[in-house]
Amino acid sequence: MFNNRVKISHLLTWEPAQQEVTVMGWVRTFRNNQFIALNDGSTNTNLQVVVELGQLDDAFLKRITTSAALKVTGTVIPSQGKGQKLEIKAAAIEILGDSDPEKYPLQPKKHSLEFLREKAHLRFRTNTFASVFRIRHSLAFAVHQFFNERGFLYLHTPIITASDAEGAGEMFRVTTLPFDHPPRLEDGSINFKEDFFGRSTNLTVSGQLEGELGATAFGDIYTFGPTFRAENSNTTRHLAEFWMIEPEMAFYDLEDNMNLAEAFIKYIIGYVMKHNREDIEFLAGRLAEEEKQLPADKRSELGLVEKLEFVLNNDFERITYTEAIDILLQSPAYKKKKFQYEVKWGVDMQSEHERYLVEKHFKKPVIVTNYPKDIKSFYMRLNEDNKTVAAMDILAPGIGEIVGGSQREERLDVLEARMKDMGIPADELWWYLDTRRFGTVPHAGFGLGFERMVLFVTGMSNIRDVIAFPRTPKSAEF
């Protein structure tokens, strides 16, 4: 057996009593030819491995370099130095993999996040990214636990689809046709009958439509998978490939939907606050350092831990779109012409407006409901005023929109009329419309952008830093 190692996170909970132990990991630093700081990714706290002077020859010592991989066997002893309870007195060290210090791109010093984005294949070996990705893992686990506890069924919706769930036309095409000489019809258009699926297909923008098929049989389902959008948005909040969680519930109206979304967000935040305390505190410290560089008026009022606790302990504000527009029109920011984009009933709120509402006006997460029908998707339930739909967006401080959802239009005639108005091809969505033909029920759902949630919880500021290998316009390295 090769692997009988103890993980460092576990070892650090032991009482040192001369136990013999084997650890494996990567060298962070090596001081005075004596003290190795070893990290195995289970925690940011390095394990100190002490080498006795004269124990190893010079040629071997030279190979103990940053990021070299080691297997160390030794005894657990109380630490002589400050800063740690225990350390390992090395009996045997094996170098599993060398790391040439002339070529290894990361130095044991602070690198900028921009620099590390270029080195995304190695950035997990830094404390910041190690914390971010351990938290991301825990959030994903908490998502499944939340829904499992409530009897939701995890439905795997397809990645390749022939429909545009959002009707926004922001899709990546999937094809095996040769693009230099694709087969054409007589009128010159491309003949997709000859394509792999015998029709035109794309990567999914959302699993919702298939999710609705599940909800109208199982009652409560959720999806959790990658979604793809070919929108050319080069911002700190947009990815071309992102992960989305989409619960869909039969026998739910808009209010039930909001209650679930709020409980869900609080649950997953509460989970990481409990299980990832060390990483949250590390990132809180990082953020506080970063904010010191900012002018006083740009700094957050709350630290990361206080912000998360505040969200856990307070109700989200709930307002209608119409109320939101009124607040914006009354705001000092509007009166002083501080908004770049127009504010009036009917416009899609821009991120500057959303951030004003959550960061300046309410200072907490806000759920905005009942948007004008013209700026929302075809499947949202039309309200009695005939002008608005039963939509809800959740806006979070520092992020903007984190959740988008709605009660769905369950009335076949109203849905068909809406689709016609909006130019959505009803014949291609015959299977979706069948749910409204056979046992239709009031139902609702929402989508939580997973990376935006990770941004919120980690206090990171660029979405490229919370997904392992970001896909953005003009960028798909690694």
**Chain residues in the site for ligand 4AD (CB under 6 A):** 165-166, 206, 208, 229, 231, 238-239, 242, 244, 246, 401-406, 445-447, 449, 451-452
Q: Taking CB within 5 to 8 Å according to partner kind, which of ligand 4AD, Mg ion, none is near residue 239?
A: ligand 4AD
Q: Is 404 in the site for Mg ion (CB under 5 A)?
A: yes
- Nearer to Mg ion (CB atom), residue 237 or residue 436: 237
Nearest-approach distance from CB 399 to ligand 4AD, in angstroms: 8
Nearest-approach distance from CB 230 to Mg ion, in angstroms: 16
CB-based closest residue to Mg ion:
404
- Rounded to an integer, what distance in angstroms lies between the CA atom of residue 239 and that of residue 236? 8
Q: Taking CB within 5 to 8 Å according to partner kind, which of Mg ion, ligand 4AD, none is near residue 451?
A: ligand 4AD
- Nearer to ligand 4AD (CB atom), residue 232 or residue 330: 232
Q: Choose one: 45-53, 187-195, 398-406, 458-466; the region binding Mg ion (CB under 5 A).
A: 398-406
Nearest-approach distance from CB 11 to ligand 4AD, in angstroms: 38
Q: Is 459 in the site for Mg ion (CB under 5 A)?
A: no
- Nearer to Mg ion (CB atom), residue 283 or residue 367: 367
Q: Is 405 in the site for Mg ion (CB under 5 A)?
A: no
Q: Taking CB within 5 to 8 Å according to partner kind, which of ligand 4AD, Mg ion, none is near residue 403?
A: ligand 4AD
Nearest-approach distance from CB 11 to Mg ion, in angstroms: 45
Nearest-approach distance from CB 391 to Mg ion, in angstroms: 9
- Nearer to Mg ion (CB atom), residue 404 or residue 459: 404
Q: Taking CB within 5 to 8 Å according to partner kind, which of ligand 4AD, Mg ion, none is near residue 206?
A: ligand 4AD
Nearest-approach distance from CB 310 to Mg ion, in angstroms: 24
Nearest-approach distance from CB 373 to ligand 4AD, in angstroms: 15
Helix axes 304-313 and 277-292, enclosed angle (nearest 10)? 120
The letter for the amino acid at 411 is R
- Rounded to an integer, what distance in angstroms lies between the CA atom of residue 399 and that of residue 227? 19
Q: Taking CB within 5 to 8 Å according to partner kind, which of ligand 4AD, Mg ion, none is near residue 87?
A: none
Q: How many CB atoms lie within 10 A of CB 27?
A: 22
Cβ pair 14, 86 in contact under 8 A:
yes
Nearest-approach distance from CB 5 to ligand 4AD, in angstroms: 37
- Nearer to ligand 4AD (CB atom), residue 171 or residue 239: 239
Residues 317-356 interacting with Mg ion (rule: CB under 5 A)? none
- Nearer to ligand 4AD (CB atom), residue 44 or residue 206: 206
For Mg ion (CB under 5 A), the number of binding residues is: 1
Distance of CA 361 to the CA centre of its chain: 26
Q: Is 449 in the site for Mg ion (CB under 5 A)?
A: no
- Residues paired with 74 in a beta bridge: 21, 90
- Nearer to Mg ion (CB atom), residue 211 or residue 404: 404
Strands 317-320, 173-174: parallel, antiparallel or unpaired by DSSP? Answer: unpaired
- Residues in the site for Mg ion, rule: CB under 5 A? 404
